[in-house]
Amino acid sequence: MLAFASADLKKESIETVIVPVCADREIHTDQAIAAILKKVKKLKEFSGAKDEEIVLYKPSGTAVNRVIFLGLGKFDEVVPESLRAMAGKAAKKCIQMKLDVVHMLAPSAARISLKHDLMLEALMEGICLGNHLFDKYLETKKQKPLKKVFLLVEDAAAKKYGGLPSRVEAICAGTALARDWVNLPPNDKRPEQFADLILSRARKAKLAVRIMPEKELQRKGFGALLAVGAGSTNRPRMVLLERKSKGAGRTIALVGKGVTFDSGGINLKPSASMDDMKMDMSGAAAVAATLITIAKLKPKMNVIGAIPIVENMPSGSAARPGDIIKSYSGKNIEIGNTDAEGRLILADAMAYVSRRYKPQILIDLATLTGACVVALGEKIAGVFSDDDGLAEAIVASGKKTHERCWRMPLPPDYKEQLKSDFADISNMGSTRWGGAITAALFLSEFVKDTRWAHIDIAGPAYAKKGDAYCTAGGTGFGVRLLCDLIDKL
Ligand code: BES
Ligand code: ZN
Ligand code: ZN
């Protein structure tokens, strides 16, 4: 879908060219475009202010059918995220205009102060992510995504960064896949179905993949996962994905929370809090989509994905508050609240992965707590880790990809709050406060010597409203972050 190209806009009859424009600086070296822009700016029709746009048809001096100028605002304020957002809006506009193939003129390397590859990457990501639609449940598909986007760059750049379009395309396809899974209604992604969806995509990507059915979970002692699934007729599954890299000595394990619907269980959520709880498998979606993506990117690292999948429902067979269950690790957990189910299924998955694969690094992604959304809002994930290097690497990847992460504390004395009078540990903190921290501290009890980080994505995994390069619903948060991180670890 994405490719670099070069074109002489004076001579080549191109259908549509999108041109990003700064308000106070010329960022292109193409003379035909510069001449048109000068005229347009003189007529005060368009200044290049942020979000401004104007479409010109067959402008003189070019052979182009349609030029779309899009404002980026002040030159000094242009950052990769503003390019991503502009390009996302451009894709959405072109979809509205029912276009199939578009060209975008990249700012000239000599005229922009950002690193050249970061600029090109941001432009392509924005357009590719903005091109994602979820229309599976619409009888008539009113909108069609763009089929092909060419980024017009100088020849030297096309040579130097030749691998970039396919890399960006792979990562954006992974993000779109995660979004699609999150957007599926819960009646179409019950644990067995969701596991099968992952299986078929993983097989296509040539990953090693295995689904543990309920019997095996029982045999192996996944007591916490089974307890969360006990209330639903749709039985839990565990999906294991694996990509080995020849010669790589190190293994990273990714664990993703896969609650296909979180009703709260016997501690039933109030109606309003239940509305979007089909999104409670966003960690699972991000982990599975990341593995499918890196099968194409081929980093020098062995990567494991472990995905516990379950539906949290109330019923006569559901786990109760007060129940004590034996987790995979051997620890007995008292269920203080059946709505704190994510940490239970993660505890089993993390203990299993640590024992079975002995990874050097373990990272879990989970829509774990409302408290994390209270702390950081809807756009920023919380990172919890005792490992400074790992936490910093995650925060840095968050900056680079704009999947923003903020480090949170893991104070050992707060573990006091997880004490149970009857069992080794409770899944519920004894106070209402600091819920994202106590949840993370609970998880920390199920990893031993492995370098570990927990990323609470309850806020950024799902968007009530669409924005520049994402429609309302699943955001695919985590895929771009993890792909960047795995390359850097
Ligand atoms: N899935 C929820 C967390 C959540 C909340 C995700 C809002 C996305 C948006 C999780 O299972 C949950 O219910 N957590 C409880 C924990 C509490 C019972 C200790 C919470 O956050 O209230
Ligand atoms: Zn819950
Ligand atoms: Zn949950």
Q: In sequence order, what are the beta bridge partners of 474?
A: 462
Which residue in this structure is represented by tokens 């993890």? Answer: 482
Q: What does the pLDDT look like over 479-488, one tens digit per residue?
A: 999 999 999 9
Structure tokens of 4? 């670099």
Helix, strand or coil, per DSSP, at residue 29? coil
Residue 266 sits in a domain whose CATH number is: 3.40.630.10
Rounded-to-integer distance, Cα 146 and Cα 100, Å:
5
Q: In sequence order, what are the beta bridge partners of 305?
A: 241, 254
Residue 119 sits in a domain whose CATH number is: 3.40.220.10
- At position 47, the amino acid (one-letter code) is S
Which ligand has an atom closest to residue 369 CA? 1
Distance 277 CA to ligand 2 centre (A): 9
Rounded-to-integer distance, Cα 444 and Cα 297, Å:
30
Name the domain boundary from 155, 178, 208. Answer: 155
The confidence score (pLDDT) of residue 44 equals 85
457 lines ligand 1 (CB under 6 A): no
Q: Looking at the structure, tell me whether residues 224 and 84 fall in a common domain.
A: no
Name the domain boundary from 155, 179, 198. Answer: 155
In angstroms and rounded to an integer, the radius of gyration of the C-alpha atoms of the chain is 24
Q: Looking at the structure, tell me whether residues 211 and 96 fall in a common domain.
A: no
DSSP secondary structure string, 300-312? Answer: SSEEEEEEEEEEE
The confidence score (pLDDT) of residue 443 equals 99
What count of residues does the chain have?
489
Q: Looking at the structure, tell me whether residues 354 and 219 fall in a common domain.
A: yes
The answer to whether 240 and 327 have CB atoms below 8 angstroms apart is: no
Q: Looking at the structure, tell me whether residues 370 and 402 fall in a common domain.
A: yes
**Residue from 269, 296, 399, 451 carrying the catalytic annotation:** 269
Torsion of CA 373, 377, 379, 384, to 10 degrees: -50
Kindly state whether residue 444 falls inside one of the protein's structural domains. Answer: yes
Q: In sequence order, what are the beta bridge partners of 364?
A: 255, 454
Kindly state whether residue 162 falls inside one of the protein's structural domains. Answer: no
Q: Looking at the structure, tell me whether residues 136 and 184 fall in a common domain.
A: no
The answer to whether 219 and 261 have CB atoms below 8 angstroms apart is: no
381 lines ligand 1 (CB under 6 A): no
191 lines ligand 1 (CB under 6 A): no
Rounded-to-integer distance, Cα 80 and Cα 290, Å:
22
Kindly state whether residue 290 falls inside one of the protein's structural domains. Answer: yes
Burial classification of residue 195, based on how many CB atoms lie within 10 Å of its CB (0-12 exposed, 13-18 middle, 19 or more buried): buried
Kindly state whether residue 22 falls inside one of the protein's structural domains. Answer: yes
311 lines ligand 1 (CB under 6 A): no
Which ligand has an atom closest to residue 370 CA? 1
* Domains in the chain, number: 2
Question: Exposure pattern of 412-437 as b/e (b: 16+ CB <10 Å)?
Answer: eebbebbebeebbbbbbbeeeebbbb
Residue whose CB lies within 8 A of the most ligand 1 atoms, among 279, 312, 345, 369, for a mutation test: 369
341 lines ligand 1 (CB under 6 A): yes
Q: Looking at the structure, tell me whether residues 269 and 370 fall in a common domain.
A: yes
Q: Looking at the structure, tell me whether residues 199 and 135 fall in a common domain.
A: no
Which residue in this structure is represented by tokens 């994390």? Answer: 372
456 lines ligand 1 (CB under 6 A): no
The confidence score (pLDDT) of residue 350 equals 98
Q: CA separation (Å) from 327 to 227, 345, 397, 420? A: 9, 9, 33, 15
The confidence score (pLDDT) of residue 45 equals 84
Q: Is 269 noted as a catalytic residue in this protein? A: yes
CA 302 to chain centre: 20
Q: Looking at the structure, tell me whether residues 41 and 143 fall in a common domain.
A: yes
Q: Looking at the structure, tell me whether residues 409 and 452 fall in a common domain.
A: yes
Distance 122 CA to ligand 3 centre (A): 32
Kindly state whether residue 219 falls inside one of the protein's structural domains. Answer: yes
Q: Looking at the structure, tell me whether residues 112 and 192 fall in a common domain.
A: no
Those residues of the chain that have pLDDT short of 70 are none
Burial classification of residue 181, based on how many CB atoms lie within 10 Å of its CB (0-12 exposed, 13-18 middle, 19 or more buried): buried
Rounded-to-integer distance, Cα 473 and Cα 137, Å:
14
Q: How do the residues of the chain divide into helix, strand and coil, expressed in percent and rounded to 5?
A: 40, 20, 40
Kindly state whether residue 399 falls inside one of the protein's structural domains. Answer: yes
Name the domain boundary from 126, 155, 184. Answer: 155
DSSP 8-state symbol, 65: S
Q: Looking at the structure, tell me whether residues 176 and 275 fall in a common domain.
A: yes
The answer to whether 259 and 341 have CB atoms below 8 angstroms apart is: yes
Kindly state whether residue 163 falls inside one of the protein's structural domains. Answer: no
**Residue from 89, 343, 404, 480 carrying the catalytic annotation:** 343
Q: What does the pLDDT look like over 61-102, one tens digit per residue?
A: 999 999 999 999 999 999 999 999 999 999 999 999 999 999
Tell me the residue range of the domain where 451 lies.
170-488
Distance 370 CA to ligand 2 centre (A): 9
Which among 367, 406, 376, 400 has a CA at the least distance from the CA of 485? 400
Residue whose CB lies within 8 A of the most ligand 1 atoms, among 368, 373, 417, for a mutation test: 368
Q: Looking at the structure, tell me whether residues 288 and 339 fall in a common domain.
A: yes
